[in-house]
Structure 1
Amino acid sequence: MPNQPSKYSFYKRNGLTIVFMALFIITLIAQAFTGWKENNEEVLEKGGRALGFLSYLHSGHFFSSTFENFQSEFLQMGMYVMMTVGLRQIGSAESKSMDEAEEVDREPVPSADAPWPVRKGGWMLKIYKHSLSICFFGLFLLSWAGHLYGSFTDHNDQQLLKHKAPESLGAFLGEPTFWFETFQNWQSEFLSIVSIVFLTIYLRQKGSPESKPVDAPHMQTGK
């Protein structure tokens, strides 16, 4: 029987979202403040003028550092959602069964409680069936563009501080800086996926939906 939201308080219904959104906001503010201080120290050392805090929030330094992290997280989640459709890892709590049919693979059936694209059918349903991965990859592309804009802008700001001419976007993309920033974030996200996929084979966390039951055999695949 479906859960009845009115039975629970607002926090109980949304606790995960509230806590992690609060942590996101707190750490984003902390990043902005410390990044502002760090950037101004570097600018002043090179003979430039310090930025006010609000001006810093529009700077390439802030955009680059912020979206550099965003894009890797959205890439991680998009890849994870897509790869777990067809790939398996025996014994992992994060994998579908090696041979049994899964509930997530069945075709959607219209009902009164189903999301409206399911009830509508047609092209809306075709898109909705892949909407999670579409959303993550869309957010990844937007964040990648934000990182590129910020890194390119910050690079040219540094060029001016060094009394050098700004570079074109094409020239900037031919240099290693942007790609170094990109790949160092991507590899860390792929490592975190490998970690949770593999470690859930042998390790447990009682009460977590990301873990198998504590007494489950190591080679039991899925939850």
Structure 2
Amino acid sequence: MTKTDEDRTETRTAFGRWLHEHALFLVCMAIFLLCLAGMAVSGFLVYNEEQSSHATAPIPFGDYLSSGHFIEATFENWESEFLQMGAYVVLTVFLFQKGSSESKPIGKHTEQDDDPRHAEVGPDTPWPVRRGGLVLVLYENSLAIFFFVLFGLSFWFHAVGGAEAYSEEQLEHGLPAVSTIEFLGTSQFWFESMQNWQSEFLAVAAIVGASVYLRQRGSPESKPVATPHHETGA
């Protein structure tokens, strides 16, 4: 085998290892993109069907992607997902559920509670831990901050897209259009938000409660199959 062949084999091996190590994220992102594409196509067809029923000319697919109909439908769902994850990250810091794999053990110290300021610093220690100060304060809360920032952005884009879609309906009925701020005060906006928020927190409650008694062998979201129901945490 030549040096070039060896390099190619090593590259393929390294790439295969990288795929194996990141497969969960990659597969979830692939499913997300496929579903987003499916949503865009089906939403485009639904929107133009509604346009035709109102004797209005259909719009091109590219225009649909920047329409209030698509923006609202996309971000009202993202908004609820990011709220759920951000709230869950914060609530699991302080609250417990006896017997659940989703809870920290009750009355026991865990590594997640360790103060990073007292950690032994090495070359692989994250830079914010080595830097300390305000950078570390932000870093030790960065996961919750990340989700709440995404929630805030999605909340706003839901309002922007929703105001455009709501205004179209208003104008069709001879009523005035609304601004984004005005749309935030409508029952329509809060109905759209709450119908998504309630389902997200129901899903969280379901996995927290179900993981006390039910198992999935091989999943880190489940306790080991033979573990007693009362045992809490991993």
TM-score grouping bracket, smaller chain normalisation? over 0.9
Give CA deviations for 1:158-200 in whole Å, capped at 9, x if unaligned.
Answer: 2233343313445433321111000000000000110010000
Would you say the 8 A contact 1:48–1:161 is kept in 2? no
Would you say the 8 A contact 2:102–2:211 is kept in 1? yes
Letter matched to residue 175 of structure 2: K
Q: Alpha carbons of 1:181 and 1:88: their partners in 2 closer, same or farther (altered >3 Å)?
A: same
**Structure 1 alignment gaps of length 5 or more:** 1-5
Q: 2 CA distance for matches of 1:168 and 1:61?
A: 15
User: Which of 130, 143, 159 is the equivalent residue of 2:170?
Assistant: 159
Q: 1:145 is matched with which residue?
A: 156
Would you say the 8 A contact 1:59–1:150 is kept in 2? yes
**How high is the sequence identity, in percent, across the aligned residues?**
46
Q: 2:71 is matched with which residue?
A: 63
Q: 2:202 is matched with which residue?
A: 191
Task: Please say if 1:79 is aligned against 2:87.
Answer: yes
Q: 1:122 is matched with which residue?
A: 133
Number of positions where the alignment pairs a residue of Structure 1 with one of Structure 2: 218
RMSD in angstroms over aligned alpha carbons?
1.4
**Structure 2 alignment gaps of length 5 or more:** 1-13
Letter matched to residue 76 of structure 1: Q
Would you say the 8 A contact 1:47–1:161 is kept in 2? no
Letter matched to residue 34 of structure 1: S
SS in 1 for 2:26: helix
Q: 2 CA distance for matches of 1:107 and 1:8?
A: 37
Q: TM-score under structure 1 normalisation?
A: 0.94
Letter matched to residue 153 of structure 2: L
Q: Which has the larger radius of gyration?
A: 2
Q: 1:3 is matched with which residue?
A: none
User: Which of 72, 92, 97 is the equivalent residue of 1:89?
Assistant: 97
1:73 CA drift (Å): 0.3
Q: Alpha carbons of 1:9 and 1:57: their partners in 2 closer, same or farther (altered >3 Å)?
A: same
Task: Please say if 1:26 is aligned against 2:34.
Answer: yes
Give CA deviations for 1:104-147 in whole Å, capped at 9, x if unaligned.
Answer: 10011222111110111111111100000000000000000010
Q: 1 CA distance for matches of 2:182 and 2:15?
A: 59
Q: 2 CA distance for matches of 1:131 and 1:170?
A: 29
1:221 CA drift (Å): 0.3
Q: 1:206 is matched with which residue?
A: 217
Would you say the 8 A contact 1:63–1:151 is kept in 2? yes
1:208 CA drift (Å): 0.3
Would you say the 8 A contact 1:43–1:161 is kept in 2? no
Letter matched to residue 90 of structure 1: K
Q: TM-score under structure 2 normalisation?
A: 0.90
Would you say the 8 A contact 2:159–2:180 is kept in 1? no
Q: 1 CA distance for matches of 2:208 and 2:17?
A: 33
Greater Cα shift, 103-112 or 30-39: 103-112
